[in-house]
Amino acid sequence: MTLRTVQTANYYGIRPDDLYLFNEGTLYHSYRTFGAHRLQWDGTEGVRFAVWAPNASDVRVAGSFNHWDGSGHRMERLGESGVWALFIPGLAEGALYKYEICDADGRKRLKADPYAFFAERRPGTASIVADLSGYRWRDGAWQRRKRERLPYDNPLLIYEAHLGSWRLAGKEQFRTYGELSAELADYAADMGYTHIELLPLAEHPFDRSWGYQITGYFAATSRYGTPKELMAFVDRCHRRGLGVILDWVPGHFCKDDHGLRLFDGTPIYEGPDPRLAEKPEWGTLAFDFGRTEVMSFLISNAIFWMDLYHIDGLRVDAVASMIDLNFGKPPELAAHNAHGGTENPEALRFLRKLNEIVFHYHPHALMIAEDSSAWPAVTSPTYWGGLGFNFKWNMGWMNDMLRYMALDPDERKHHHHLITFSLLYAFSENFVLPLSHDEVVHGKRSLLHKMPGSYEEKFAQLRLFFGYWMTHPGKKLLFMGSEFGQFDEWKDTEALDWFLLDYELHAKMKLYSRKLNRLYKERPALWEKDTDPGGFEWIDAHNAGQSVISFVRRGNRHGDCVVAVCNFPVRRIGITGSAFPPPAATGSLSIATTGASAALRP
């Protein structure tokens, strides 16, 4: 077989400079070059394909248009870049395709396009030619407002949702992006949230991975509709005053044969060393963060979701597993860096560069690290030696508080440190306080079910917990269903138990959550100084015997403060702007300001 190599100044719009930057790791909009792009060349309309397969002996395009026989559509290698390209005239949007890749030994494998913009609905695995241009955005007011408001000193109250189980039309009958545009966006806005965070929407083969094991990083999953229907969903959220955050998974990818694994017969995305590549805890493969082309791929993907889908931010999954070479690995896969440590210097460089580039192109984006490690300065700028995120999940607070709230109230006096320890480090990073999907699945029970006591007492405990959560320094995130007291843990193949709202305590729990959300947004003292130690002061942190704590939250204006009193054994919380309120009803939340008072009593 003769290897055909093209030396050309411009191959159907692919410039040598693009290839150079891609190989260098700095082509931050590589999705404009790679994948399947409909275009007109010399008066002929068709589709240009481009793929990186540096160690292949031959690459072809096979699809629905050639009976899945790529022999008539051989791609041409562009110099020494490792990139292959082909222009197929007359090909239309909607065509199914894969790359037929021959490795160095002549063995063929069919691979989905890493840069495909759309893909078949599972169990199909083909890529689909899709044009993402032409959607008319109507979110100008949202974009202007976002530029005017820094996230640090404004409310950030996130509703985390899994589109495949928020609501269902029937067994495995997903709501569409279009239906969710009205239902979910309107619900979250009415409840008072500021943002929706969506579990990953990049294409993935297995529903029960929840999107965390991906094959198509640039393809919005076809489970819920088309790419432009997803754009309409985001647009609707913005017009309802809601930001949209996407869970993003740069740490690892799934091993399915049609995906990135051994893409050209060699490990180009995962790297050659199995000690670094294998993620045995999840059965996946880690990206090779030291490879420059992988750097171009991943950073471009982050920019892609913000450029084309107007996504407002990314929650970067599993940062701890990226920066620790031995995270979740058995001894036989143990590895060390050149200095003998277990830190992954390539991953650290990637994360810093990722945040620098994202904020260069999208300075008002949210970049949130889901990081369970004690790595310092995660939310400090890279020029100060930090990782450059602007927020980090406070996993320590979450673990301590869930452990504390599960205790019998009579036992809490022996574990008082669990509710006070977080204030020793609350201002070391810009924190989000997460009550996420990970805490209500796999036998961990729902938030309501974690609470001790009788059925009625569980609700009182959850109201108390939510009140403390809302007044503690840090932004907020809550997983769907917890706002109305979902009793069973999250069932990822079924819809939330919305029927529970027919029962009084669950309906009142939803009302309480709604009022608490609105109270949070209306009281600047609860968010203006989330990252400033001057915004918090203990009144009494040491009343372990009675399991009572009290503290002050302060805003920017002189005299703007909220006093919180949490009475954990008797399940009461009171909040006041100037003085302590009278004894509250069990599980209630009260607030009083100068000259006025109000009470929330679900």
* Catalytic residue IDs: 317, 370
HEC string of 277-301 equals HEECCCCEEECCCCCHHHHHHHHHH
Q: Which amino acid, residue 303?
A: I
User: How far apart (Å, rounded) are the C-alpha atoms in residues 387 and 522?
Assistant: 32
Which helix (DSSP H) or strand (DSSP E) does residue 89 occupy? strand 83-89
Beta bridge partners of 575: 564
Cα angle value 391/397/403 (rounded, 5°): 150
User: How far apart (Å, rounded) are the C-alpha atoms in residues 263 and 113?
Assistant: 10
User: How far apart (Å, rounded) are the C-alpha atoms in residues 271 and 290?
Assistant: 9
Judged on CB neighbours under 10 Å (0-12, 13-18, 19+), 374 is exposed
Q: Which amino acid, residue 98?
A: K
Which helix (DSSP H) or strand (DSSP E) does residue 390 occupy? none
Which helix (DSSP H) or strand (DSSP E) does residue 304 occupy? helix 292-309
What's the gap between Cα 408 and its chain centre?
34
Structure tokens at 236: 């609707």
Query: 177-191 and 504-522 helices cross at what angle (nearest 10)?
Result: 70
DSSP string, 187-235: HHHHHT-SEEEEPP-EE-S-GGGTT-S-SEEEEE-GGG--HHHHHHHHH
Do 60 and 100 meet the contact criterion of CB atoms below 8 Å apart? yes
Structure tokens at 469: 């959560």
User: How far apart (Å, rounded) are the C-alpha atoms in residues 173 and 159?
Assistant: 23
118: helix, strand or coil: coil
Structure tokens at 257: 């044969």
Structure tokens at 54: 């540096």
- Cα separations (Å) of 188 from 370, 485, 600? 22, 16, 20
